[in-house]
Amino acid sequence: MIVVVKTLVHLAAALPLLWLYYGAVNDTIGADPVERVIHFTGIGALNILLISLAITPLAKRFKKPVLLKFRRLLGLWVFTYALFHLLNFLFFELQFDWRLFVDEVIDRPYITVGMFAFAILLPLAVTSWSKIKRKMGKSWQQLHNWVYIAAVAIWVHFYWSIKSDIYEPGLYAVGLIWLLTLRKDRISRWLFKRK
């Protein structure tokens, strides 16, 4: 049963990407496929991240520990979308202009923050294997607490990238703050201990 549901989740995450790139390559998804793939993967990463952050509170609230089995899988899809987002920017927006890429990462705060978030997601994805997790022991959780900081950084990156709308990032802010508030004790303990 779990395998079936997991397969469905994988499909739900993978099929939109296939559809997206198929349309983008064939120039059938709007006038500017580059902008389209960047926005789709970026907001997709944030959406999946919020869903994954909702899992633990939902599992507790409804006493369904089976839900916890979906956290890693969703987390890896967050990373996948974020990776595509970054590669879209480098390949299709900047078209391999490496100098411009370095300049943009350094000069543009919203891109700096985005890269910072990606730099957090990367080790989280790499350490998601059960074997590595076991080897890391307690430090695994310490490391993975950084997802909260990544989530805030991703939101800032999103908000900063927008020309004038505040409504949509506002909705995301409400969702994110709510999800973080649910774990405020855990987060403050972690941040406090780190000093």
Partner 1 sequence: TQQALNYQKAPATDELLTPEAKVTSHNNFYEFGLDKSDPARNSQGLKVKPWQLTVSGEVSKPITLDYDDLFKKFPLEERIYRLRCVEAWSMVVPWVGFSLADLIKQAAPTSKAKYVAFETLYDPEQMPGQRSRRIGGGIDYPYVEGLRLDEAMNPLTMLSVGLYGKTLPPQNGAPIRLVVPWKYGFKSIKSIVSIKLVEKMPPTTWNILAPNEYGFYANVNPDVSHPRWSQASERRITTGGLFARNRIATLPFNGYGEEVAHLYKNMDLARYY
By CB under 8 A, residue 33 contacts partner 1: yes
Spatial separation of the C-alpha atoms in residues 73 and 125, rounded to whole Å: 10
Q: Are 45 and 154 in contact (CB under 8 A)?
A: yes
**Largest Cα–Cα distance in the chain?**
52
- Residue 161, token pair as written in the block: 């990238």
What character string, x for contact with partner 1 (CB under 8 A) and - otherwise, covers 120-159? ----------------------------------------
By CB under 8 A, residue 95 contacts partner 1: yes
What character string, x for contact with partner 1 (CB under 8 A) and - otherwise, covers 53-92? ---------------------------------------x
3-state class of 96 per DSSP? coil
Spatial separation of the C-alpha atoms in residues 102 and 168, rounded to whole Å: 29
Least CB distance from residue 157 to partner 1, whole Å? 11
Q: Which of residues 165-194 bind partner 1 (CB under 8 A)?
A: 165-167
Q: In residues, how long is the chain?
A: 195
**DSSP label at 92?**
I
Q: Which residues make up the interface to partner 1 (CB under 8 A)?
A: 21, 24-27, 30-35, 37, 92-95, 97, 100, 103-104, 107-110, 160-161, 163-167
